[in-house]
Chain A
Amino acid sequence: GAVVSQHPSRVICKSGTSVKIECRSLDFQATTMFWYRQFPKQSLMLMATSNEGSKATYEQGVEKDKFLINHASLTLSTLTVTSAHPEDSSFYICSARSPTGNRNNEQFFGPGTRLTVL
């Protein structure tokens, strides 16, 4: 199956700093990538949909200036958490979708990035 990687897998930062998380599709071209966050013992909440070469579409309640998303190529999307605060500590998961050869229009998930803001 298709492989999606995320980097870093775990990051600890000080409050007020910015953190960038990368999501890469390794063996396919992803026209669309999705970013989710997951708090402990909770479900995945969609933050935004990222299409290559265009601005991301954010879900209601997600601050676009706080969570900057860039999808500069067909294999890479980045999520930057700006001026991070302890309440931004969470598990961030990306997924990627390819329109070709994808019978179920399935998304392929990355392994996640655990962000801890001190």
Chain B
Amino acid sequence: AQKITQTQPGMFVQEKEAVTLDCTYDTSDQSYGLFWYKQPSSGEMIFLIYQGSYDEQNATEGRYSLNFQKARKSANLVISASQLGDSAMYFCAMREDTGGFKTIFGAGTRLFVKA
């Protein structure tokens, strides 16, 4: 069965510093996708970044980058130059590419950015 693990329930980072949010996954599929979403207190799910299992280069989107280590089955999110508005819940998710494209989510990490 597929599984997503986020081991950091909460993280603190100083404004303007970089922070890494951990995510490991488990799947027997060869083809899958990995996502990171941000969920502020309003509840909306904001897409941040995507990494396909066959992508050889790490994905980057502005201040977000995904450190993809396929052999270790990890997909850590790096946020550079943290801003106060980055304070939110962050979810790692994995989409299976067989049987319906279901996406499952990790438990989440709450990020607190300190001024």
Contacts and interface: CB of A to CB of B under 8 A. Distances in A.
B101 A32 contact: yes
Contacts of A97: 101
Given A104-B50, A106-B50, A43 B107 contact: yes
Interface of B: 33, 35, 37, 42-45, 47, 50, 52, 91, 95, 97, 100-108
Contacts of B102: 34, 46, 49
Contact of A112 (B33, B44, B52): B44
A42 B109 CA distance: 10
Contacts of B91: 43-44
Nearest to B110: A41
B103 A114 contact: no
Contacts of B35: 106
A41 to B, nearest CB: 8
A38 B44 CA distance: 12
Nearest to B6: A43
| Chain A interface category by residue count | 20 to 34
Instruction: List the 5 closest pairs (A to B, CB-CB), nearest first.
Output: A109-B45, A112-B43, A44-B105, A104-B50, A43-B105
Interface in A24-54: 32, 34, 38, 42-46, 49
B14 to A, nearest CB: 24
A112 to B, nearest CB: 5
Nearest to B96: A105
Nearest to B37: A109
Contacts of A91: 43
Contacts of A49: 100, 102
Given A1-B47, A34-B103, 8 more contacts: A34-B102, A43-B105, A44-B45, A44-B91, A93-B45, A107-B101, A112-B44, A114-B43
